[in-house]
C-alpha cells in the first residue's frame, strides 16, 4: 500500500506550492488536513511555514494535533518535518508579537535575529546551508524568509547551519522530528532534493 503524507492545514497562507513540490518528488498519497484521524494515519507529517506563531500554536492545541505529535514522538518513528514557522513551533517559546508558547518538543527559544545594520531584516534570499557530515541531507543553497531564529537549542539537535551576520540553526533533528528554517518547496532543485531525501527516511 502506498504511504501517506499529511500536510497539516492551519487554514493560513500558501501551502499549494508545498503540496505541489511533495507530489512532484514522491508517489505517496498526500492529504492536506487538520483532522486528527488523518494526522494519526499518516506515515509522514509536515508542519508548513505559514501564519504567525501564536495563531499556529493555539490552532494545533485546539485541534489536539499537539497531543498527536507528542504521541508520535513517543510511540512511533514516523518522520515529522517542520518548515520555517513549522520548525519554530517545535521549540519552547517565541517572542514574535509578544510572548507565545510552542510545543516544547525541542529545547530552545525563538528570538529576533540580532544582526547589525549591514544585514537588513527580514533575512530574505538564498543562503548557503552547511549540513553536518553525518547528515543525510546535502549542503547547498536554500531559500530563506524570516526575521526570527532558534536560540539555545541543544547542540546535538542542530544538524545544519546557515549564516546571516551570525550563525543560526538551519536544520534541526530530534528523534523522528526534523525542522528546517528555509523553505525547501521554494528552493528549486536543492529544495526538491531535500524533500526527496526526507521522504526516503
Partner 1 sequence: MINKRLIPVIILKNGLVVQSFNFDKYLPIGKPEFIVRYLSNWESDEIIILDIDATINKRLINIDLIKMLSKEVSIPLTIGGGVDSLKSAEIYFKNGADKISINSLFLDEKFSTINSISEEYGSQSIVLSLDFKKDDNNYYLYDYRKKSMKNLDILKIFEIIKNELQIGEVLINSIDRDGSKKGYDIEIYKIANNLLSHPVLSLGGANKLEHFIEILNLNNVTGMCAGNIFLHSEHSVELFRSKLNKINNVLRPNNYFSYE
Catalytic residues, by residue number, are: 84, 183, 185
Measured from the CB of residue 122, what is the shortest distance to partner 1 in angstroms? 4
Comparison of 68 and 81: residue with beta carbon closer to partner 1: 81
Positions in the binding site for partner 1 (CB under 8 A): 12-14, 16-17, 20-21, 24, 50-52, 55, 85, 97, 117-122, 124-128, 141, 143, 145-147, 164, 183, 185-192
Least gap, CB of 47 to partner 1 (angstroms): 15
Q: Which is nearer to partner 1, 76 or 166 (CB)?
A: 166
Q: How far is the CB of 106 from partner 1 (least distance, A)?
A: 21
Calpha distance 128→29 (Å, rounded): 31
Of 73 and 145, CB closest to partner 1: 145
Between helix 53-62 and helix 65-75 the angle, nearest 10°, is 80
Shortest reach from residue 77's CB to partner 1, in Å: 28
CB of 63 or CB of 146, closer to partner 1: 146
In 34-187, the DSSP E strands lie at 44-47, 80-83, 93-94, 100-101, 109-112, 123-131, 140-146, 148-151, 158-163, 167-174, 177-180
Burial label for 75, CB within 10 Å (0-12, 13-18, 19+), is exposed
Smallest CA-to-CA distance from 90 within 38, 46, 30 is with: 46
Amino acid at each position: 500500500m502506498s504511504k501517506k503524507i499529511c500536510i497539516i492545514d492551519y487554514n493560513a497562507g500558501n501551502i499549494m506550492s508545498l503540496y505541489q513540490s511533495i507530489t512532484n518528488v514522491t508517489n505517496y498519497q498526500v492529504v492536506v488536513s487538520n483532522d486528527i484521524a488523518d494526522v494519526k494515519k499518516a506515515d509522514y507529517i509536515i508542519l508548513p511555514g505559514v501564519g504567525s506563531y501564536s495563531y499556529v500554536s493555539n490552532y494545533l492545541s485546539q485541534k489536539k494535533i499537539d497531543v498527536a505529535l507528542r504521541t508520535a514522538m513517543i510511540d512511533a518513528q514516523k518522520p515529522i518535518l517542520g518548515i520555517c514557522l513549522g520548525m519554530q513551533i517545535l521549540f519552547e517559546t517565541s517572542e514574535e508579537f509578544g510572548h507565545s508558547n510552542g510545543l516544547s518538543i525541542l529545547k530552545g527559544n525563538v528570538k529576533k535575529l540580532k544582526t547589525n545594520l549591514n544585514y537588513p531584516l527580514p533575512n530574505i534570499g538564498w543562503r548557503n546551508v552547511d549540513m553536518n557530515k553525518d547528515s543525510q541531507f546535502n549542503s547547498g543553497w536554500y531559500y530563506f524568509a524570516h526575521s526570527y531564529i532558534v536560540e539555545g537549542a541543544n547542540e546535538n539537535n542542530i544538524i545544519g547551519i546557515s549564516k546571516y551576520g551570525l550563525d543560526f540553526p538551519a536544520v534541526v533533528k530530534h528523534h523522528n522530528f526534523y525542522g528546517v528554517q528555509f523553505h525547501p518547496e521554494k528552493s528549486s532543485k536543492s529544495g526538491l532534493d531535500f524533500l526527496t531525501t526526507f521522504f526516503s527516511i
